[in-house]
Amino acid sequence: MEREPIALGHGGGGRMTSDLIREVFLPALANPRLEALGDAARLDPVPGRLAMTTDAFVVSPQDFPGGDIGALAIFGTVNDLAVSGARPVAISAAFILEEGLARDDLERWVASMALAARRCSVEVVTGDTKVVPRGQGDRAYVVTTGLGAVQAGAPPGPEAIREGDEVLVSGPVGDHGAVIAALRNALDPGTLRSDCGPVWDLVEALLAAGATPRFLRDPTRGGLGTVLGEMAEASGLSVEVRDDALPVRPEVAGLCDLLGLDPIFLACEGRVVAVMPSEQAEEALRAWRRLPSGQEATRIGRVVQRAPAPIVRVTPYGGRRLCDVPAAEPLPRIC
Amino acid sequence: MKEWTSGLRDPGRVRGLAAEMAALDPGRPIRLMHVCGTHEHALCAAGIRDLLPEWLTLVAGPGCPVCVCPASEIDLAVRIAALPGVTLATFGDLVRVPARISLAQARTRGADVRVVYGVADAVALARSLPDRTVVFFAVGFETTACTTAAALRASPPDNFQVLSSHRLVPPALQALLDLPGETPDGFLLPGHVLTVTGTKAYEDLLSRRPIPMAVAGFEPLDILQAIRAILEQVRRGRAEVVNAYPRAVREQGNRAAREAIAEVFEAADAPWRGIGTIPGSGLRLRPAFRHRDAGEVFGLAPDPAVQDAPTGCRCGEVLLGRQEPEECPFFGNPCVPDDPMGPCMVAQEGTCAARYRHRRA
């Protein structure tokens, strides 16, 4: 028998809300802090400084090869903590659902969230649900906030970047953005999958190897190019990138050719960009390549004196081109 | 797809072919012109001009359909969009081009202006808005005109109309040759357009004025092969149309696409930004399709008093290939893609935008 879809009453705070929590959220996300169902989750103290981040997820479509809005909502927030050098401690999740959403869809996304949280060894400790009338939302939006414990060796930030530093990326760029672009344009993504996944193990591996990254970032919206542009602006330097060193899967490059996109500005959801002192670059790459998620880690360029643009691209034919960060993303609502 | 494009981008082959150009030095400066925004983008992104010998200049002509659309026709689109019950659908770049006001400004003031990726989206929009008149503001050369024609032949809903600013490439090449002053030594022909028109239409140009031409594809090696084909003609004193893009272009072009254009449109004199009116270079709906012509239906026509560019902007000269974008006093400051003064910096295919996005370090 088909179950009743989500109704306005499920966001009303009454018995229907309690039923939804008991039937959908608690079984999937089970942990003592969530099960206490207090107005706020009470957490044990953690040593050292705390990091906190928040992110809203409005991806369209919500399901895509390699992930869905639930997984993205966990990994996105955990990854923002990770690149700040913080181990994830707890997550809160708020759901804004559109009236008429199928129960199966919600349950699938929550199950996917639970799986993602387990992979990151983090609990969803508190949450909220609201329902908006049909036509006033796009099925589901999820907002997650993450709390993390900052670890020793956490990167200081872009102001620490120096001329001569090397720029590394942990794997092929643009997979997530390309999958979403394919689905939006009614193209078959084929073997292409989103890279949606956790990056804490990549950060932990660098710190455990005693490396001292100057700057770490997960290149999500705006992709690798936007991260390079932002760090160049913040450090007052430029980044020189060799186009033939950029790791781009052939499927992604082909799709970009078809749609007129540049893979360096397409979103990733499971990669890290690291700026390393040059003498540590080789060791950092070795540490990454020992991990399944870092097999294809590579050097893409280096930090140079300030040029008239934040990014200088060396073409395969030997020319050097200036590259600016576009004002707006090529594709909205990708995460 | 990757396999064959990577061969056409192979750095060794590209540099090798570029180096071979040196042997074709005719002992005088050579100025070639392409007329395609996609060529300009490909040239800039790969940095092809850096590989060419000093005696060879490759300039961009009027190859960006958004750029050549005169302000008076954008102004007409703005006035139609402002009419009650009208939704105007067009390409994203066109929405930002300044006229008396841009379509984007018209939207801010309450007009219903929608961005579409093509005519099919506009027809779908008309189906979804049965109580409104959806006007598709159509720009583009033969490559886009055939899609507009196909949509009109396929019985779209009654509330679908077209404002045609389509243009034809061969009359523009003829006009460039007829202009007083220096003419190019050869034309690099736009591969996409030729897939529709075929090479025949360009051979007709030769009967009026001999000039070396070669059809070019869009990968670095495609472009260099076409340049070499022109240089070889220059050296031998020949003038012909060489098809250097045979994997896509046929002598007869795409017959179905040409027939669709011929059934729906007729050639008409039309103004081009920077050039002026070129005889037979526009496409007007034939009488059988006049009920789809938004200008006719609303009794509105372009106002010739509307100026093409702000004072000082060199878009007109850039479109003629008479000035390089970098020679414009506004290039890069204050005119940039995010805050453009003229259409050549607005459109993705605009010469100024391509040069700025990939400027030399």
For residues A132 and A125, give the distance between their C-alpha atoms in angstroms, rounded to a whole number. Answer: 24
* Partner-chain residue, chosen from B11, B51, B359, that has the shortest CB–CB distance to A322: B359
In the DSSP assignment, the letter for residue A326 is P
Least CB–CB distance from B361: residue in A251, A253, A322 = A322
Q: Do A321 and B51 touch (CB under 8 A)?
A: no
Least confident of A163-172, A223-232, B66-75, B341-350: B341-350
Does residue A100 sit at the B interface (CB-CB below 8 Å)?
A: no
Q: In which band, very low, low, confident or very high, does the pLDDT at B307 lie, cut at 50, 70 and 90? A: confident
Q: In this structure, what token pair is assigned to residue A316?
A: 């395969």
Per-residue pLDDT of B178-193, as tens digits, reads 988 888 999 999 999 9
In a domain, B203, yes or no: no
Residues 104-163 (A) with a CB less than 8 A from some CB of B = none
- For residue B276, the distance in angstroms to the closest alpha carbon of chain A comes to 31
Condensed to tens digits (0 to 9), the pLDDT of residues B206-225 reads 988 899 999 999 999 999 99
Residue B50 in domain: no
Nearest CA in chain A to B1: A254
**A19 C-beta neighbours (distance < 10 Å), count:** 12
Task: Give me B49's structure tokens.
Answer: 């001009």
B95/B103 Cα distance (integer angstroms): 5
What is the rounded average pLDDT of the residues A177-192? Answer: 92
Question: How many CB atoms are closer than 10 A to CB B110?
Answer: 9
For the residues B162-173, what does the mean pLDDT come to? 97
- B206 is a domain residue: no
Query: Does residue A188 belong to the interface with chain B, where contact is any CB pair within 8 Å?
Result: no
A321 in contact with B at a CB cutoff of 8 Å? yes
Check if A186 contacts B (Cβ < 8 Å): no
Nearest CA in chain B to A244: B11
Which CATH number fits the domain that encloses residue B283? 3.40.50.11740
Residue of A nearest to B92 (CA): A330
The answer to whether residue A312 neighbours chain B at the CB level (below 8 Å) is yes
**Are the C-beta atoms of B12 and A317 separated by less than 8 Å?**
no
Pairing state of beta strands B265-272 and B276-285? antiparallel
pLDDT at B2 over 80: no
Closest alpha carbon within chain B to A326: B338
* Average per-residue pLDDT for chain A: 95
Each residue's pLDDT tens digit, A306-324: 999 999 999 988 788 999 9
pTM comes to: 0.84
Q: Which among A304, A321, A324 is the top mutation candidate for probing chain B, defined by the most B β-carbons within 10 Å of its own β-carbon?
A: A321
B348 to A260: CB separation less than 8 angstroms, yes or no: yes
pLDDT above 70: percentage of residues in chain B = 98
Q: What is the CATH number of domain A158-323?
A: 3.90.650.10
**Contact yes or no for A57/A116 (Cβ under 8 A):** no
Chain B CB contacts of A315 under 8 Å are 45-47
Residue B237 included in any domain: no
- Are A254 and B14 inside 8 Å of each other by CB? no
Angle at A40 between CA A35 and CA A44, to 5 degrees: 80
**Domain enclosing residue B280, as ranges:** 68-168+255-298
B180 within some domain:
no
Q: Which of B2, B51, B337 sits opposite A317 (nearest CB)?
A: B51
Q: Are A255 and A117 in contact (CB under 8 A)?
A: no
Residues of B with a Cβ under 8 Å from any A Cβ are 1-2, 5, 9, 11, 14-15, 18, 44-48, 50-51, 220, 337-338, 348, 357-361
pLDDT higher than 50, residue B277: yes
Question: Which pLDDT band, with edges at 50, 70 and 90, does B304 fall under?
Answer: confident
Least confident interval from A159-163, A227-231, A303-307, B205-209: B205-209
Q: Does the CB of A316 have a partner CB in chain B at under 8 Å? A: yes
Q: What is the DSSP string of B295-359?
A: HHHHT----TTS-SS-TT--HHHHHTTSS-GGGSTTBTTTBBTTB-SSHHHHSTT-HHHHHHHT-
Regarding the domain with residue range A8-150, which homologous superfamily does it belong to in the CATH classification?
A: PurM-like, N-terminal domain (3.30.1330.10)
Domain count, chain B: 1
CA distance A106 to chain B (A): 29
Judge: B220–A317 Cβ closer than 8 Å, yes or no. Answer: yes
Residues B157 and B173: their CA atoms lie apart, in Å, by: 37
CA B325/CA B352 separation, integer angstroms: 5
Q: Which residue of B has its CA nearest to A252?
A: B2
Chain B residues lying within 8 Å of A232, measured CB to CB: none
Q: Following DSSP, what letter does each residue of A250-271 receive, concatenated?
A: HHHHHHHHHHT--GGGS--SS-
A-chain residues within 8 Å CB-CB of B357?
323-324
pLDDT at residue B1 in the model: 44
pLDDT in tens, A55-80: 999 999 999 999 999 999 999 999 99
* Residue range A4-61, pLDDT digits in tens: 999 999 999 999 999 999 999 999 999 999 999 989 999 999 999 999 999 999 999 9
pLDDT at B5: 63
Complex-level ipTM beyond the 0.85 threshold: no
Mean pLDDT of chain B: 93
Q: What is the pLDDT of residues B281-297, one digit of tens each?
A: 999 999 999 999 999 99
pLDDT of res. A284: 97
Alpha-carbon A15 to chain mean position? 35
B235 pLDDT more than 60: yes
Instruction: Enumerate the CATH 3.30.1330.10 domain ranges in chain A, comma separated.
Output: 8-150
Contacts of B68 (CB under 8 A, 6+ apart): B62, B167, B172, B272, B273, B274, B275, B319
**Is residue A1 predicted with pLDDT exceeding 70?**
no
Contacts of B360 in chain A (CB under 8 A): 319-322
CA distance B56 to B50: 11
The count of CB pairs under 8 A between chains A and B is: 64
Burial category of B92 from C-beta neighbours within 10 Å (exposed 0-12, middle 13-18, buried 19 and up): middle
Q: Which residues of B touch A324 (CB under 8 A)?
A: 357
Mutate one of A306, A315, A325 to test the B interface: name it (highest B CB count within 10 A).
Answer: A315
pLDDT at A257 over 90: no
Nearest to B47 among A308, A317, A324 (CB): A317
Chain B contact for A327 (CB, 8 A cutoff)? yes
Q: Would the pLDDT of A327 be above 90? A: no
For B46, the closest of A309, A312, A315 (CB atoms) is A315
User: Rounded CA gap, A199 and B37, in Å?
Assistant: 40
How many Å apart are CA A317 and CA A307, to the nearest integer?
20
Cα of A252 to nearest chain B Cα, Å: 10
Mutate to test the interface with A, among B4, B6, B360 (most CBs of A within 10 A): B360
| Nearest residue of B to residue A309, measured between CA atoms | B361
pLDDT of residue B4: 55
B1–A317 C-beta distance less than 8 A: no
Burial class (CB in 10 A: 0-12, 13-18, 19+), A260: exposed
Closest by Cα among A59, A97, A98 to A76: A59
Distance between CA atoms of B157 and B292, rounded to whole angstroms?
Answer: 10
Q: What is the pLDDT of residue B182?
A: 85
Q: Indicate the residue of B5, B51, B359 with minimum beta-carbon distance to A321.
A: B359
Tokens of B80: 């139609």
> What was the pLDDT predicted at B3?
55
Please state, in angstroms and rounded to a whole number, the distance separating the CA atoms of residues A308 and A300.
20
Q: Which residues on chain B are in Cβ contact (under 8 Å) with A250?
A: 2
Q: Do B361 and A327 touch (CB under 8 A)?
A: no
Distance of residue B304 Cα from the nearest chain A Cα, in angstroms: 34
Query: How far, in Å, are B73, B104, B269, B343 from residue B99 at the CA level?
Result: 9, 11, 21, 10
Which of A264, A317, A324, A329 should we substitute to test contact with B (largest number of B Cβ atoms within 10 Å)? A317
Q: Which among B348, B146, B102, B161 is positioned nearest to B261, based on CA atoms?
A: B146
Q: Is residue B137 part of a domain?
A: yes
Residue B114 lies in a domain: yes
| Residue B191 forms part of a structural domain | no
A332 at the B interface (CB within 8 A)? Answer: no
For residue B17, the distance in angstroms to the closest alpha carbon of chain A comes to 12
